Structure 1
Amino acid sequence: MYVLRDAAAVRAFLSAGVDAELQGLIDGRTGELAEYTDEIGELVTFIVVQAGDAVEQIDAALGFGILSNRFDAVPFGAPGFTPSWDSLTEHTGWFELTYVLSDDGFGIVVYVPKAEAQASELLAMCSRYAAADAQREVQP
């Protein structure tokens, strides 16, 4: 897993020859936020999950459980579960979860690869809610 907390970390990560789609996603987000700050780390931390990362590692980086609602702790799959991310976007090879954590707009963006070696419950949650969001967008 990669935790990118500032512009230098983002530049180093992107210069290491990462997946082209992921590079475009991170470049896009940093570009959107660049007009608001000189130091991207003041507004966002990027977490790039790698295949094989344990959910507990992701939780530690986030500061809360990715598979549960961060406000009421109801876990994915339990009755009453509602997601606590602010947006979930499905891309060709990645899921992008955005959490806005404070009134000043600071947030965490988590990129989850659609890799078969990834935690199956995390992929199941992302797939389920991305599909539900897509269905809501199609309905009038």
Structure 2
Amino acid sequence: MFTVFNKSFGQIVATSDPVVERIVSVVNEKLPQYDGYSVQLTEAVIKPDLKTAVGQVYDGKQIKVDPTAFQNSVKQQLQADGVSTLIINSSIGASIETKLTSEYQSAFQNQYLLEFRDQLPTYKMITYLVMLVTFVFGTLFRIRYRRSRHY
């Protein structure tokens, strides 16, 4: 119905290239590195999860994304770096995956999303009030304009 503070609009803005690039940069700085292997979050991995997280914010739900795509990306990166599949699937690999997944999940629990979730009802109310005031003034000006044309 309205585009301002609409869930779809919010998801489009949140997954725009400048926003995603910044988030990828911040998250990659926080991801731990192991034994010289660098795991990097990619835009392709985070965009769908970011869209999900923003949707959950709009729905007033707890922010929780499915880390499967991220976990698969980590495994692919480690394999590309020459890490054996046996090591990746071992208990050592599982503990690394758990740590990385925890870091990834916590990236979505950032203050900006949580504050926005808490303030969203206020933003919506302000937007609706501005629209209502604009409608009332527009209607009054229109009535006055029509009356002034008849004189």
Shorter-chain TM-score: what band?
A: under 0.3
TM (norm. structure 1) is 0.27
TM (norm. structure 2) is 0.25
